[in-house]
Structures are given as C-alpha cells and as structure tokens.
Amino acid sequence: MPKIKIHKSSPSIDMTPMVDLAFLLVTFFMLTASFRMAEPVIVDPPSSVSEKLLPENTIMVTVDDNGRPFFGISNAEAKMNALTKMADKYKVKFNAEQLKKFGGLSSFGVDIKDLPKYLDQSEGQRQKFQPQKGVPNDSLNNPQLKDWILFAAQEANMIYKRAKDEAKDKGQEFKGEKPRYAIKADAKVKYIFVKDVFKTFTDIKIYQFNLITSMEGGGKAPAPAAHGAAH
C-alpha cells in the first residue's frame, strides 16, 4: 500500500499586529517629545585636547564673537523659578504661552523688558530679533546677567539639596550633581568681554567655573569639553 505524502507548507507569521504596534509607538513619541529650540547664537570656541564632559546641571553664559552674553540654564525647574524672580524684580509680566516658550529656550540674549516680545516671535523670527544685544551686564546700572546667574544658582542649589535630602530620607543612593557654572566664548571674541563675565561670576562669589572648548584636530567634541577655572 503506497504511503500517503503529507504536503509540507512553510510557516507564516502575521506581521500586522507588529506593524500596528510600531505605528503606535512612533505616534506616541511624536506626540510626547519636546523639541529643543535652536540656539540663538552659534559660537566657535577655542580648541583643546580635553575630553572632560560638561555635566547636565549647568548654568552657562555664552559670549559670541561680538561680545554679547547669552544666558542659559539646563535645569528646567531652576530656569522657570529664576524667571519668576527676575520678572518680580524688574516688573515684567509673562502670559502662559510665553512661559511655555521660555521653558523650551536653551539660551537667550535680550533685555528682560524685551523678553515677552522675543518669546512671541516664531523660532525663525527670534534669530533675527532686534534688539538682541545680549543680556545687559552693566554692574552699576543694569546688572541683569548677574541677577540671572544669582537667582539661577539659588534655585539650582535648592533643588539639588531637596533631591539629596529626599534620597537620604528614603535610604536611597543619591547620584545627582551639584550645579556647575560655565562660560562658552567664541575664539574670536575680545578678551575684555570674557573678562567682564568672569567679574560677574566673582562678584556673586562664584570662583570656580568651566571654560567650554571644542576638540582639537578639526573635529568637534561629542559634548562640550570643560576645564576647571578659578579667578
């Protein structure tokens, strides 16, 4: 009696659920992602061979080739709290939409009285915003840069201490970093402008900060290199 041959078929996998899942994940990330706004100024810092990377919890002043100082805070909570203090001191009001946009700024270089109007602009318009003369740094008549650094430092240190205390109370290991201060200056800027920023830091008794550089050899470092400095 002849044997009956059973036809063998290749196994198949229905990929439809996996494709659906992939689209759901893509949609989720698109809706929940917060896009970082473009830098208001691009600087070319001096090069070095240092590979020390700048920590996340940083308060930074960027000085462009024209000597204009731009201010930025990486800690979002400290940034918003510093804005609240600045708005109160300089009697400037911000609406909800302006506050939301401010939270997305990496840095800015305008007088606080012009900041609401600056925030009302589109991202492309902000690149051409006038007057964008840098954050005022007149220690006698308009010490806004010093106030931004001071308020940001107070808030960032308070947040750091609070997180450290909470970890201690829960018996957890604390891995947070203290706030750090940095200056990123264009290689072509006159030293007098950088010196003014040094003085702004030291006037509020901040004597240690990082000088941001790029990697030597024509390439850029994967993240800013940092050098400790005391003045």
Quote the pLDDT of residue 218: 46
Report the pLDDT averaged over residues 200-222: 73
Helices (H) and strands (E) in the chain, counts: 7, 6
Q: Give 71 or 3, the one with higher predicted confidence.
A: 71
Q: How far apart, in whole angstroms, are the C-alpha atoms of residue 199 and residue 194?
A: 9
pLDDT surpasses 60 at 52: no
* Structural contact between residues 101 and 119, judged by C-beta atoms closer than 8 angstroms: yes
What residues contact residue 16 under an 8 Å CB cut-off, 6+ apart? none
CA 194 from chain center: how many Å?
20
Q: Where are the alpha helices (DSSP H) in 91-225?
A: 96-104, 115-120, 123-127, 144-169, 191-203
pLDDT surpasses 80 at 43: no
pLDDT surpasses 80 at 27: no
Quote the pLDDT of residue 14: 65
At residue 138 the predicted structure's pLDDT band, cuts being 50, 70 and 90, is very high
Q: Give 14 or 155, the one with higher predicted confidence.
A: 155
- Return the ∠ at Cα 176 (arms to 77 and 72), rounded to 5°: 40
* pLDDT tens digit sequence for 105-132: 999 999 999 999 999 999 888 888 877 7
Quote the pLDDT of residue 10: 60
* Structural contact between residues 85 and 150, judged by C-beta atoms closer than 8 angstroms: no
In DSSP terms, 184 is beta-bridged to 62
At residue 202 the predicted structure's pLDDT band, cuts being 50, 70 and 90, is very high
* Structural contact between residues 92 and 112, judged by C-beta atoms closer than 8 angstroms: yes
pLDDT surpasses 50 at 196: yes
pLDDT surpasses 90 at 41: no
Q: How far apart, in whole angstroms, are the C-alpha atoms of residue 93 and residue 87?
A: 6
Question: Phi and psi at residue 191, in whole multiples of 5°?
Answer: -60, -30
Quote the pLDDT of residue 211: 86
pLDDT surpasses 80 at 89: yes
Quote the pLDDT of residue 58: 92
At residue 93 the predicted structure's pLDDT band, cuts being 50, 70 and 90, is very high
Q: Which of 72, 18, 64 is nearest to 45 (CA)?
A: 64
Q: How far apart, in whole angstroms, are the C-alpha atoms of residue 62 and residue 215?
A: 18
Q: Which of 106, 7, 18, 14 is nearest to 60 (CA)?
A: 106
Q: Which of 165, 154, 190, 174 is nearest to 59 (CA)?
A: 154
Mean pLDDT of the chain: 81
At residue 12 the predicted structure's pLDDT band, cuts being 50, 70 and 90, is low
Q: How far apart, in whole angstroms, are the C-alpha atoms of residue 95 and residue 79?
A: 16
Of 8-12, 131-135, 154-158, 205-209, minimum mean pLDDT range: 8-12
pLDDT surpasses 60 at 7: no
